[in-house]
Amino acid sequence: MSTHTLSALVENKPGVLAHVAGLFSRRSFNISSLAVGPTADEQVSRMTIVVDAASTTIEQVIRQLDKLVRVIKVVELADDAAVERELALVKLAADPAGRAQILQIAEHYMARVVDYGSDSLMLQVHGSSEKLDAFIDLLRPFKLSELVRSGKLLMARGQRVT
């Protein structure tokens, strides 16, 4: 098994996400990341799907996705052929003694403080999944109380349109 990142252009209609997710569910694949949003054309949405699967099996899934009526185009994007970003919000219990160290870590990772309470901090960070993983690992000793991640967003490099 290896990780595959798919970019699917789909009609911006109700039920499309359920059909696509159902296809992965029927094959017993776990979707580890899913991001969906409109494109420059409001009639079309882009789904970025990260899934663990064997290479031969993922090729079958791509062919099956292409057959779905509301799916316009599906491509697999290699990490080196695309720009990847992810967003995370991290909430920490932060007493005055630990704040300076947390803020130092945040500065190193170019994270922003988006909420500052008397006993908590909320940080926003963006970048590659690996960067976010490293950032979160460094913050775990500081009483991480809540975490939310957007899922991968990818766009092909250069003039290639996916």
pLDDT by residue, tens only, the chain of 162 residues = 688 899 999 999 999 999 999 998 888 888 989 999 999 899 999 999 998 877 678 888 899 999 988 999 999 988 778 889 999 999 999 888 889 999 999 999 999 999 998 889 999 999 999 999 999 999 999 989 999 999 999 888 887 666
pLDDT given at position 1 = 66
Q: Cα 125 from chain centroid?
A: 13
pLDDT given at position 161 = 66
pLDDT given at position 15 = 93
User: pTM here?
Assistant: 0.81
Distance CA 99, CA 56 (A): 49
Contact assessment for residue 77 and residue 16, using Cβ atoms and an 8 Å cutoff:
no
β pairing state of 44-53 and 112-116: unpaired
Q: Which domains does the chain have, with CATH numbers?
A: 2-76 (3.30.70.260), 82-154 (3.30.70.1150)
**Residue given tokens 């991290």 in the structure block:** 90
DSSP reduced 3-state for 43: coil
The backbone torsions φ and ψ at residue 159, rounded to the nearest 5 degrees and listed phi first, read -85, -10
The backbone torsions φ and ψ at residue 141, rounded to the nearest 5 degrees and listed phi first, read -65, -10
Contact assessment for residue 89 and residue 148, using Cβ atoms and an 8 Å cutoff:
yes
